Structure 1
Amino acid sequence: MGKRPTTKINIYFITIVITLGGLLFGYDTGVINGTQFYFSKYFELTGALKGFIVSSALLGALAGAATAGIISKAIGRKNSLIISAILFIISAWGSGLPSILPESTTLLVVFRLIGGIAIGIASMNAPMYIAEIAPAKNRGILVTFYQLAVVIGFFVVFLVTYFIGAKLSESENIAFGWRNMFWSELIPAGIFLVFLFFVPKSPRWLMINGKEEEAENILTRIHGEEIAAKEFKDIKDSIIAESTKKKASIFSKTMLPIVIIGTVLSALQQFTGINAVLYYGADIFEQALGFGQDDILLQQILLATVNLVFTFIAMFTVDKLGRKPLLIIGGFGMLIGFLLMGFTLYFSDYANVNSAGLPTISTTEGIISLIGVLIFIGSFAMSMGPIVWVLLSEIFPNKIRSAAMAVAVAVQWLANYFVSQTFPMVVESEANGLIMNGGTWNNALPYFLFSAFIVIIIVFVYKYIPETKGKTLEEMEALFERK
């Protein structure tokens, strides 16, 4: 091979840059929650059109994830992320422009779709890039940086939109404040784009495309010669072994079970109900738990803080406790949280009425239910939130990784869209209504449904998910081939 380079590349610098894609994932998804209240009034939207605009980014993410594998295979992980950064910038810039034209909700949908495509591309390529460039011993914690960045993105955008809105009157927010909220995303998106030019290409992608010397140089600059030599040999041996086999397909007899396991796990992440809580938290706090408008902001901050803290716990335990134990522990925690909330609502008499005229539970019951929500959020943040991304980046063999990740992430976005659309329908259904009004579940039905899915998750993880802690990607491939 060629001359060894002397300039080191810090693996944590690379990881932080790449995980900015995750921060933008959270930021772009969360910014709609701060803007929709005002642009809905600006455009005088109907409920149906408002719902479509809010969820349009999820459809874009589905399209982006579905095509991300093809793009990643053709131009590489790094260049795919550059494209996503450019799309984030276009989306952030364009989402504020429709207010210039009175009848331009179509433009707003188009730019939200573009942002969703960026999310879909980044959500596949960022964790895969990190997994392919990280050494096995600390790959878990490095990949969880991605989920941490998503959580930070939600937290930051919540604060940014709050401070933008707080400085303006309601009429000013309706006229132009929401545009500033969208445009605030230009700052992290621009930083992401610039710093992407300072990170290397994925060594695995380079070797798959016959650029061995460049790949070896990058591995050496990141890991040092000793680790790089082992990584290089493992990757090369894997590629040689693949070249002697028949061309792989995600639908082949040996690959399909792996793809199904990863895709089901990816979808089940959404059926925990996490985005029902994150997207409709204010409605839950007001309508189900009985808190007033003045308390909602505090509780949203509390949710974001718990989410952030427990994501850190996952980061520092994933390579010690392992992936599977965290998923099972977190599964039982999520189950306890939602059952606590569900049974509290189910046995409530809704004797009070809030300022909006809605029947509410007592303060004590509201606090117990809030504790249940926080237990759920914390348990998700230390398990299904980050660990699913770690496993998706690990379990798929090199020869199908791009295509399999695209399928798994696309299905996850489809599940996200389904849950986000159906949650308010279930909440407003007659069956979920108050017992005093002829309902059956006393506002508890959604949380019992999510609890049922969480039981399925625990059983599925126990039966089908192997422990991947400390194994190289090539060892993971061999593990699944033996199963």
Structure 2
Amino acid sequence: MGGGPGGTGGGVASTSLLWAIVMSAFAAFGGILFGYDTGTIGGIIAMEDWLHTFGRYDSTGELGYYLATNDKSLVVSILSAGTFFGALLAFPMGDIVGRKRGLILSCVVFCLGVGLQLITHWGIFVIGRVIAGFGVGLVSCLVPMYQSECAPKSIRGLIVGLYQLAITVGALLAAIVLNFTKDQQSHSSWRTPIAVQFAWAAILSGGMALLPESPRYLLLKGRQAEARKALGRLMSLPHNSPEVEAEAVEVSTALAVELQAGTSTYLDCFKNNESRYGFRTWTGILLQGWQQLTGINFIFYYGTTFFQQAGISNPFIITIIADVVNTVMTFVGVQLIDRVGRRRLLLVGAIGMCISEFMVAIVGVTVGHPVQVGGGSVVNLAAQRVLIAFTCIYISFFAISWGPVTWVITGEIFPLSIRAKSMSLAVASNWLWNFAIGYATPYLVNPSTTGVNAVKAANLGVKVFFIWGSTCVGCFLFTYLFVPETKGLSLEQIDLLYRESSILGSEDYRKKIIAEGETFTGNHVAEKEVHYNELEKQ
């Protein structure tokens, strides 16, 4: 049976909102592991000493030491190959060892991968990124799972959205560290940014060791006394208080309903039944894919080298600016999720990103490229500023919408019986698309090379933003047709919405549910009472 994020309302009530937020939000620190690595690798592959260590030398003297297109694709995207398998295995780990211990073990795996990346051997470096990615994949699924089960019900969107905020903070920290070490003419220029990742893993694992296990997981395993102690800590009440007992009974009731559905398999996630399992699973899988197809990781994987090619004198500073914008606007975005709504934010974000990316592409191909004048290259400073400005606007729209909202929807649209399995499939989809885009992008953007190690490439350069702009049109259409509005609903009410409403009519039906106080659990109990009364009459 599925033991994913759930409970009767997507979290627990608490007499101390601040303390509950601190405990449930701390797990979001796991996002720093992925965000920091994303930001780090983009800068490291542009460092002189790293290229001397792992790159190739151009015998013609034109390129000096460089990283071949195929090697660049491999070293950047291979982390996502590890995260794909890590996300798939997060479900059994979360149910076997628990959400809390699963996160701690994930940090151990991540540290092993980081350590291997400090070795000056190409094969070992790549293997290290795979192992580190495996740890990140586990974390990326277990964090929202833990948060959804422990966060206060009224701000579930804010709490789960903090995972995306942590990703942006990690990328910003990476940009800052890289700017301090980039000029060092030794292995420490790239080893230091990599080694810093040990600290992030230590903070996450150490903090999780002090936090309670998910009460829902403990109840799932029949550990009643431990579950009440964990609930007491989350609710800031004695473990034997009436409020804790009532919450434990409520969660146990939901689990009993889930158990009646029997043991589910991954195949059950795709059944087209009354609860629309298949529709919801494909929505999560495709939503995570569309998030990657916005092209956002092009900036954070290849932004430094892209800005270099555009003639910008200090691309590391521009990368920091982009990371600051991403972090600040994500902070704004997570506060809008429970106010503006999930669906509306996704629609607005898709439109804003589409316009911004087309502007970057149009300016780039017309006046944005360096021009050869008198034996040297001259750049159009005004065009450069426009490129940077619209890149930052594009990042802002992503940060308030498709960044955090995608994770929130993934954690809440699945019913209890398939939630963990469907969630692992959706998160794995994110990493699969991440890998594909990260691997393919250098072949799309870079020029072809000649010689013994020649690699054919499309040499699109800034024109790649025409592709990203077009995919944002797809993001808009997908949201409009397949993503309902779930703001203010409990997890059971979301299940009711999927059963009783169409996607286009979800906003009106959502308001009706809230106005009438309908819940799936309440309807289930009412149905049982009606059935019992009919039997009594017979």
Q: TM-score range by the shorter chain?
A: 0.7 to 0.9
RMSD: 2.8
> 1:127, CA displacement in angstroms?
1.4
Match of 1:217 among 229, 245, 267: 229
Q: Which residue of 1 aligns with 2:504?
A: none
Count how many residue pairs are aligned between Structure 1 and Structure 2.
Answer: 457
Q: Which residue of 2 aligns with 1:192?
A: 204
Match of 1:134 among 148, 151, 164: 151
Match of 1:241 among 250, 254, 257: 257
One-letter code of the match for 1:242?
E
Q: Which residue of 2 aligns with 1:52?
A: 74
Contact preservation (8 Å) 2:305, 2:315: no
Contact preservation (8 Å) 2:77, 2:436: no
- Write the deviation string for residues 137-195 of structure 1: whole angstroms up to 9, x where unpaired: 111111111111111111112212322344x3x2x2xx443222221211221122211
Relative to structure 2, which stretch is displaced further, 202-211 or 270-279? Answer: 202-211
Determine if the alignment matches structure 1 residue 339 to structure 2 residue 358: yes
Contact preservation (8 Å) 1:29, 1:57: no
One-letter code of the match for 1:34?
G
> 1:234, CA displacement in angstroms?
4.3
Match of 2:215 among 203, 224, 229: 203
SS in 2 for 1:353: strand
> 1:242, CA displacement in angstroms?
2.0
Query: What is the TM-score normalised by the length of structure 1?
Result: 0.87
Q: Which residue of 2 aligns with 1:460?
A: 478
One-letter code of the match for 1:363?
L
Q: Which residue of 1 aligns with 2:389?
A: 371
> 1:361, CA displacement in angstroms?
5.8
Relative to structure 1, the CA distance from residue 132 to residue 364 in structure 2 (aligned partners, 3 Å threshold; closer, same or farther) is same
Identity %: 29
Matches of 2:192 and 2:282 in 1, distance apart?
A: 42
> 1:403, CA displacement in angstroms?
1.1
Contact preservation (8 Å) 1:426, 1:445: no
Matches within 5 A, 1:84-123: 84-96=106-118, 98-99=119-120, 104-123=121-140
> 1:94, CA displacement in angstroms?
2.6
Match of 1:322 among 320, 324, 341: 341
Matches within 5 A, 1:319-468: 319-348=338-367, 350=369, 352-353=371-372, 362-428=380-446, 443-468=461-486
Matches of 1:391 and 1:230 in 2, distance apart?
A: 28
Matches of 1:442 and 1:251 in 2, distance apart?
A: 38
SS in 2 for 1:253: coil
Contact preservation (8 Å) 2:171, 2:323: yes
Determine if the alignment matches structure 1 residue 261 to structure 2 residue 283: yes
Matches of 1:29 and 1:349 in 2, distance apart?
A: 26
Q: Which residue of 2 aligns with 1:19?
A: 28
Match of 1:150 among 155, 164, 167: 167
One-letter code of the match for 1:189?
A
The structure with the larger Rg is 2
- Write the deviation string for residues 442-474 of structure 1: whole angstroms up to 9, x where unpaired: 855311111111111112112211122222223
Matches within 5 A, 1:286-325: 286-287=308-309, 289-292=310-313, 295-325=314-344
Matches of 1:227 and 1:93 in 2, distance apart?
A: 46
SS in 1 for 2:210: coil
Alignment gaps of 5+ in structure 1: 1-5, 431-439
Alignment gaps of 5+ in structure 2: 1-14, 57-66, 449-457, 502-538
Contact preservation (8 Å) 1:351, 1:362: yes
Q: Which residue of 2 aligns with 1:40?
A: 51
Q: Which residue of 2 aligns with 1:181?
A: 193
Contact preservation (8 Å) 1:270, 1:415: yes
Contact preservation (8 Å) 1:15, 1:145: no
- Write the deviation string for residues 281-327 of structure 1: whole angstroms up to 9, x where unpaired: 1232232x4323xx312211110111011001112211111111111
